[in-house]
């Protein structure tokens, strides 16, 4: 394999040069960053949406209920002193444990706790929560409902209409006229966790204003809200929506800087050097701002998984990770005044790569995402789990993989890298089958088809190793073989015969190759990730050597400005 590895002394000379060569007249990103910027993070949505979701107030006393307006501002409607609540859809939901999550579910869990979807509504409407609550509090199971902008007092919850009719008759016997009510497909209730006691019900039948929950703060005004949700504590508030009448889409709304504090310790470790964490903070902040509305179909900005970037809240946060965010507050990476696409990954194995190679995009769209030879990871390779890797495939397995891509091939007998990128990573790979036919795949097709861990790899065995094919079949010996020259003369092939490989390499014929005697091909490499942008372990190594976060960022994102 062609290799371009450079080992340098433990200094930040390359990064310093990159900084010095960066364009000096790049406008600031002032318009890209707004103080008080709210980020909407999707926690559960689509197939992961929940019938019920538990919340616990980790700071303060109780919760506020309301909705979010078009500017993502919370409008309060009601309040409770309960610290442990659950938000459920207004269908029959059962409390218990399903798939290791104890909450409210669609199936009967056998606990006997069920929140029913039928209610009794007392006569009249109310102008405020307090007045509706005063009416509802006269009944042991009374609660306030806010339906299409109007307060009502309701009583009880029943799993079927017959149960509601029986309760209705009991109230009628007491001289109270009540109507049986349900909700629209967008209805949501807040209950005391583990019970069927409804605290508040919300229904906006046109789904224009989405239900919100915010923890009450403790102590002085401005103290951070922290809420426990599914094993993690998070800043900010929560929004719930039943898209198309389904389960609850759960969204965490919080300030940008608080969001970044929930990303950094999950993308890196709080124990890592501060300068590496600061580089990560700038990347996370820039990525969030450049991907607003990425999940617009679900009405939030970015998700909490690595599909966007990992966000789990405050559990792993510490003094280092928090300081990294606070010391870079508001800073983003730009190129020619526009937010850069600050993608990153774990490690590159020794060289990052152009975005056009990995994504197939127009390189002019991402002029700062160009591959660089990365000598830094080598200094910490022993600390990186599974840094070096390899996969083995038989010729039959390779052929089946190609057939799955639509190629009509027989068993693969030779594989070789036919072209390399400027940083020494494979660019295209040739597969030759037993019929002598060849198939060229781009490196990103190879990466995805064979589940490789990075774009930095080599392939052992192949035409470059001296594989000789006769009528499409590999041969291991020259005995009995003849060659016909251009004049039609037949000559015996001797030990002086050589083979020119698809990559231009010249090796002696008959020296073996291909899949080897056992017919196995090996793809081996180093690193883990897509190789575009910043290597997190490379940032770690540079920080250990004294590089600043600006130098780290300038090394991986050519020509960007941080500010």
Opening angle at CA 480, ends 436 and 435, nearest 5: 10
Extract the residue ranges of the chain whose pLDDT is less than 50: 1-31, 462-467, 472, 501-506, 510-517
Q: Which pLDDT does position 224 carry in this prediction?
A: 77
The pLDDT assigned to 205 comes to 85
Q: Please state, in angstroms and rounded to a whole number, the distance separating the CA atoms of residues 384 and 547.
A: 20
Q: How confident is the model over 97-109, as pLDDT tens digits?
A: 999 999 999 999 9
pLDDT confidence of residue 209: 87
What's residue 91's pLDDT? Answer: 97
Q: What is the mean pLDDT of the chain?
A: 88
500: buried, middle or exposed (CB in 10 Å: 19+, 13-18, 0-12)?
A: exposed
Helix (H) or strand (E) holding 327: none
What pTM was computed for the model?
0.84
The owner of tokens 């002394």 is 9
The C-alpha atoms of residue 213 and residue 56 are separated, in whole angstroms, by 11
Q: Which helix (H) or strand (E) holds 203?
A: strand 198-203
What's the CA gap between 451 and 453, in Å, rounded? 7
Give how far Cα 456 sits from Cα of 108, 130, 513, Å: 51, 65, 22
Q: What is the largest CA-CA distance in the chain?
A: 116
Closest by CA to 188, choosing from 278, 89, 274, 286, is 89
pLDDT for 512 equals: 37
Tokens of 26: 């790049």
| Of 92, 109, 91, the residue nearest 100 (C-alpha) | 109
Residues 162-194: tens digit of each pLDDT: 999 999 999 999 999 999 999 999 999 999 999
Question: For residue 495, what pLDDT is reported?
Answer: 53
- In this predicted structure, what is the pLDDT of residue 104? 98
pLDDT score recorded for residue 36: 83
């Amino acid at each position: 394999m062609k290799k371009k590895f450079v080992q340098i002394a433990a200094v930040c000379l390359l990064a310093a040069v990159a900084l010095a060569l960066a364009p000096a007249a790049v406008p600031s990103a002032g318009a890209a960053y707004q103080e008080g910027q709210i980020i909407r993070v999707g926690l559960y949505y689509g197939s992961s949406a929940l019938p019920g979701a538990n919340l616990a107030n980790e700071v303060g006393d109780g919760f506020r209920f309301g909705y979010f307006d078009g500017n993502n501002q919370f409008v309060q409607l009601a309040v409770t002193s309960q610290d442990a609540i659950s938000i459920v859809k207004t269908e029959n939901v059962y409390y218990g444990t399903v798939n290791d999550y104890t909450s409210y579910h669609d199936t009967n869990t056998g606990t006997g706790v069920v929140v029913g979807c039928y209610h009794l509504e007392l006569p009249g409407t109310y102008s405020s929560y307090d007045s509706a609550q005063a009416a509802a509090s006269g009944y042991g199971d009374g609660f306030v409902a806010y339906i299409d902008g109007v307060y009502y007092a309701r009583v009880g919850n029943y799993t079927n209409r017959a149960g509601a009719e029986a309760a209705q008759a009991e109230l009628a016997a007491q001289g109270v006229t009540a109507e049986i009510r349900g909700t629209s497909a967008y209805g949501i209730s807040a209950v005391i966790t583990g019970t069927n006691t409804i605290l508040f019900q919300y229904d906006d039948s046109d789904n224009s204003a989405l239900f919100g929950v915010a923890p009450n703060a403790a102590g002085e005004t401005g103290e951070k809200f922290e809420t426990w949700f599914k094993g993690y504590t998070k800043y900010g508030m929560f929004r719930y929506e039943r898209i198309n009448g389904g389960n609850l889409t759960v969204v965490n709304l919080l300030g940008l800087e608080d969001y970044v504090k929930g990303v950094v310790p999950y993308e890196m470790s709080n124990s890592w050097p501060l300068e590496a964490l600061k580089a990560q903070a700038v990347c996370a902040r820039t990525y969030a701002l450049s991907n607003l509305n990425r999940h617009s179909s679900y009405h939030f900005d970015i998700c909490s998984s690595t599909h966007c970037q990992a966000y789990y809240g405050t559990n792993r946060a510490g003094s280092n990770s928090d300081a990294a965010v606070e010391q870079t507050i508001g800073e983003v990476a730009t190129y020619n005044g526009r937010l850069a696409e600050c993608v990153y990954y774990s490690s590159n194995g020794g060289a990052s790569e152009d975005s056009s190679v990995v994504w197939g995009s127009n390189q002019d769209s991402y002029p700062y995402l160009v591959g660089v030879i990365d000598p830094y990871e080598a200094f910490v390779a022993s600390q990186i789990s599974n840094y070096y890797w390899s996969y083995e495939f038989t010729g039959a397995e390779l052929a089946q993989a190609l057939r799955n891509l639509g190629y009509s091939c027989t068993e693969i007998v030779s594989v070789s890298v036919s072209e390399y990128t400027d940083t020494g990573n494979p660019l295209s790979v040739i597969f030759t089958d037993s019929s002598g036919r060849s198939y060229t795949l781009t490196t990103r097709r190879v990466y995805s088809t064979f589940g490789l861990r990075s774009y930095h790899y080599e392939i052992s065995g192949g035409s470059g190793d001296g594989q000789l094919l006769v009528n499409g079949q590999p041969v291991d010996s020259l005995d009995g073989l003849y060659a016909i020259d251009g004049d039609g003369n037949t000559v015996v092939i001797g030990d002086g015969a050589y083979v020119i490989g698809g990559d231009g390499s010249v090796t002696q014929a008959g020296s073996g190759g291909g899949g080897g005697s056992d017919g196995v091909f090996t793809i081996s490499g180093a690193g883990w990730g897509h190789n575009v942008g910043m290597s997190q372990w490379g940032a770690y190594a540079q920080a250990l050597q004294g590089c600043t976060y600006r130098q780290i960022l300038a090394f991986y994102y050519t020509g960007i400005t941080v500010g």
